Structure 1
Amino acid sequence: MTGPERGIWLVDATHREDLATFVERAMRLDDAAVIRLRERAGGQVVAWVATGFDVLASRVVAGTIRPPDLTAGADALARGLDAMDSSGHVDPGFPMDSAWRGALPPDSGFTHIDDVPARVVLELAQRGVTLAKQHGSAHGPPVSLLDQEVLSVSSAQDNVGIPMRCVFTLTAMAFLPQSAAASRDTGFDPATVAADEIVRVRALPAWLRIDARFGSVYRRRGDPALVLR
């Protein structure tokens, strides 16, 4: 590879659109969001954002980056994606590495706990939105609602509770294949998702991971405050 010393090189326009959607959703949650990008073996780039729900969100696209671990402002990255040239190069803007606070979960080693129908997740999101409107404030949903474990999944090795924080992050980041109308209206209509669509729950002793069709969310187990430390 020759050319710029710093940047992202995406395989094609489809991956540009995927990353642009991720960045746009991150900015809806926080217009000052920063995006961390890390190169993964096999020609992949993983994008990360620390959401206001104290949950990490990530999405994988095909491409390469230089350096192999960089952080960019979401607004600058969005502009770079809009201007991606014919070589697939994206200018991520001014380095923002010092703005990223906290460790990332490992790439591997997670144990599969169980699969959950996506419709169940959307039903939980519907209820959560209703409760947030009833009991929330200008600062958002109450902490008690966000911390409430709304689903429990288990395997022979582990039992995991899924807090509303993770449900809200999955829907806010559009990681489930909702209809455009449902997503726009925050209706999260379960009927717009195929009955066999699932989310996969995995875990490590220190991390909860939930994989959906368009991305994954991660939450520290134990002391939740550690997710951004």
Structure 2
Amino acid sequence: MIAATARADAGAFAYRLLRLDPQAVIRLRPLAGGRAQLWAMLPFKVLATRTVATDLTADTTVAAADLLARLDDPQLPPPTRRDAQWRWPLPPARVPVVERLPVDDVVGLARAAEATLRTAAAEGVGARPVGERVLRDALLDHVAVVVTAPDGQSAQVPQRLVQGLVRMNFHGSGRDGMVTVRASAAWTGLSGEYGSVWLAGTSPLRLS
């Protein structure tokens, strides 16, 4: 299913996904040229995707745990298909680039948010205790950065996209690397060295 040369990349995707959601499924969507996109819905309510080499010809959804097991042992039989468990639309193939951000800045935003969550959970907000789930949801909805392209188009990037990119390790490790912000009327995405995360239904694009 997954080419031998791509097992490490696919394994990293499945492993990090399972750390966030042990019940997650992965959609394998074939592309031209012997490649396929791996897609998954993260607990942050954003889609994550990475492209790998494969000889797969059919659009297939499987349990992330089943895929990881077969990457470790290719002699196992093919995983059970779980196509009915995939319920999310995908972004279009081409979404305009709005801006590029330094990797270090994006990682800094993620770490600052995590520190804020720990402090608020321990000390409360305004000296009042607040449930961790309420804090987490509020933090994920917080606009981490607003970017504006030279033509005046701007997009709001919520913290849930930042967390998704960093927790899946899509940002890469290069000090001089960049994260690309893409946006349309219906989708906002962050793309790093190893993959992308997407948020639907936010209508983030506006004209300044």
| TM-score when normalising by structure 2 | 0.86
Q: 2:168 aligns with which of 150, 170, 173?
A: 173
Q: Distance in 1 between matches of 2:77 and 2:91?
A: 26
Q: Distance in 2 between matches of 1:145 and 1:138?
A: 10
Q: Unaligned regions of 5+ residues in structure 2, if any?
A: 122-130
Aligned length: 194
Work out whether 1:106 is the aligned partner of 2:92.
yes
Work out whether 1:213 is the aligned partner of 2:193.
yes
Q: Within 5 A, what are the aligned runs for 1:114-125?
A: 114-125=99-110
> What is residue 142 of structure 1 aligned with on the other side?
136
> What is residue 181 of structure 1 aligned with on the other side?
none
Q: Is the contact made by 2:34 and 2:56 (CA closer than 8 Å) also made in structure 1?
A: no
Q: Distance in 2 between matches of 1:46 and 1:162?
A: 23
Q: 2:60 aligns with which of 45, 50, 70?
A: 70
What is the letter of the counterpart of residue 124 of structure 1?
Answer: L
Q: Within 5 A, what are the aligned runs for 1:128-207?
A: 128-136=113-121, 137=131, 139=133, 141-155=135-149, 156-178=151-173, 193-194=174-175, 196-207=176-187
Residues 174/29 of structure 1: CA separation in 2 closer, same or farther (3 Å cut): same
Q: Is the contact made by 2:191 and 2:197 (CA closer than 8 Å) also made in structure 1?
A: yes
Percent sequence identity over aligned pairs: 32
| TM-score when normalising by structure 1 | 0.79
3-state SS, counterpart of residue 54 of structure 2? strand
Q: Distance in 1 between matches of 2:26 and 2:47?
A: 11
Q: Unaligned regions of 5+ residues in structure 1, if any?
A: 1-7, 179-192, 225-229
Q: Distance in 1 between matches of 2:159 and 2:37?
A: 24
The offset of 1:92, in angstroms, is 4.5
3-state SS, counterpart of residue 31 of structure 1? coil
Q: Which moved more, 1:98-107 or 1:23-32?
A: 98-107
What is the letter of the counterpart of residue 73 of structure 1?
Answer: A
- Say what the alpha-carbon RMSD is for the aligned residues: 1.9
Which whole-Å deviations, capped at 9, do the CAs of 1:153-202 have from their partners, x for residues lacking one? 11115210111101111111011224xxxxxxxxxxxxxx41x2100111
3-state SS, counterpart of residue 55 of structure 2? strand
> What is residue 183 of structure 1 aligned with on the other side?
none
Residues 204/62 of structure 1: CA separation in 2 closer, same or farther (3 Å cut): same
